[in-house]
Amino acid sequence: MKLEVENLGRDYGETQVRRSPLKPPSPHPPQLPDFSLDSVPKFYKENDFLTEHLLAMEEETKMLKKALAMCISELQASRNICDKTTRSFKF
Phi/psi of residue 57, nearest 5 degrees: -70, -35
Angle of CA points 17, 20, 25, to nearest 5°: 110
Task: Give the integer Cα–Cα distance in Å for 20 and 81.
Answer: 70
| Between 13 and 32, the higher pLDDT residue | 32
Q: What are the sequence ranges of the domains in the chain?
A: 39-91
| Between 80 and 2, the higher pLDDT residue | 80
Are 8 and 17 a contacting pair, CB within 8 Å?
no
* 42 contacts: CB under 8 Å, gap ≥ 6: none
List, for residues 45-86, the tens digit of each pLDDT value. Answer: 999 999 999 999 999 999 999 999 999 999 999 999 999 999
- Give this prediction's pTM: 0.51
Task: Give the integer Cα–Cα distance in Å for 60 and 49.
Answer: 16
Cα separation of the two ends of the chain = 76
